[in-house]
Chains A and B, each alone.
Chain A
């Protein structure tokens, strides 16, 4: 199962990136490059939909931290949506569940 960006949707309220597959050492560079490219568009909110992400390791989490820092520096915001229990557990182990905004739906996320 390849880890990748499945879809990117842009609106005035923000940009939604749908990720999928396994985001590990193999696909983290591709994942990071795609998200940094979206950051250059300076969206007010970047929503990363994790519902179809089956696995994520600390390199994927590190990318999300980097993106959150990048957006914060340009007064934007990163919101994570719908991680599976398996993916959510890595945020819990690293206590980053308290750092990231993690919501259930895109609608909630775009209203941030």
Chain B
């Protein structure tokens, strides 16, 4: 993992990793740190960390089909919307492009292994937007705001 720009407080934190699951703990720690600085409580921090982890796990499993040597870029930015502090996460990969409309959580009444990641992401975050990225791959933007 490399943190490209160790930032001042209001600047984005940019993290570039290879798509190796062994890098997940470092990303989780970086996300936990920023979420703590913004002021989320411990329960919310745990959920935010989980959602970001699930997003990167999906990139590794689906975007890169398990290949461990591909690039994943994570940009973490503190934001303020309508007077509420929050965090925006942008996750950029260079793998398969998919139609964003096909990325949806499954029916939780159907209890079976797999397919929970997108549900977790959408449950935890206030706003989730998947989009094909220029030049290939996908860009996922997620925003979580502090409660009013």
Is B one of A's binding partners? yes
Secondary structure dominating the interface of B? helix
B54 at the interface (CB under 8 A from A): yes
Which listed residue, A25, A65, A89, A99, touches B60 by the CB 8 Å rule?
Answer: A25
Q: How many A-B residue pairs have CB under 8 A?
A: 60
Which residue on chain B has the smallest CB distance to residue A94?
B116
How many positions in chain B have a CB within 8 Å of any CB in the partner chain?
25
A93:B57 contact, CB within 8 angstroms: no
Residues from chain A with a CB closer than 8 A to the CB of B112 are 65, 69
A101 at the interface (CB under 8 A from B): no
With A55-B28, A62-B114 already in contact, the answer to whether A24 and B119 are too (CB < 8 A) is no
For chain B residues 37-56, which have a beta carbon within 8 Å of chain A? 43, 46-47, 50, 53-54
A10: min CB distance to chain B, Å: 25
A24:B53 contact, CB within 8 angstroms: yes
Residues from chain B with a CB closer than 8 A to the CB of A25 are 21, 24, 57, 60-61
B117 at the interface (CB under 8 A from A): yes
Interface footprint category on A: 20 to 34
- With A24-B25, A57-B53 given, can you name 7 additional A-B contacts, CB distance below 8 Å? A22-B25, A24-B24, A24-B53, A26-B21, A26-B24, A66-B113, A95-B108
Residues from chain B with a CB closer than 8 A to the CB of A62 are 113-114, 116
With A61-B116, A86-B46 already in contact, the answer to whether A93 and B123 are too (CB < 8 A) is yes
Q: Hey, which bits of chain A sit against chain B, CB under 8 A?
A: 1, 22, 24-26, 55, 57-59, 61-63, 65-66, 69, 85-86, 89-90, 93-96, 99
A85:B113 contact, CB within 8 angstroms: no
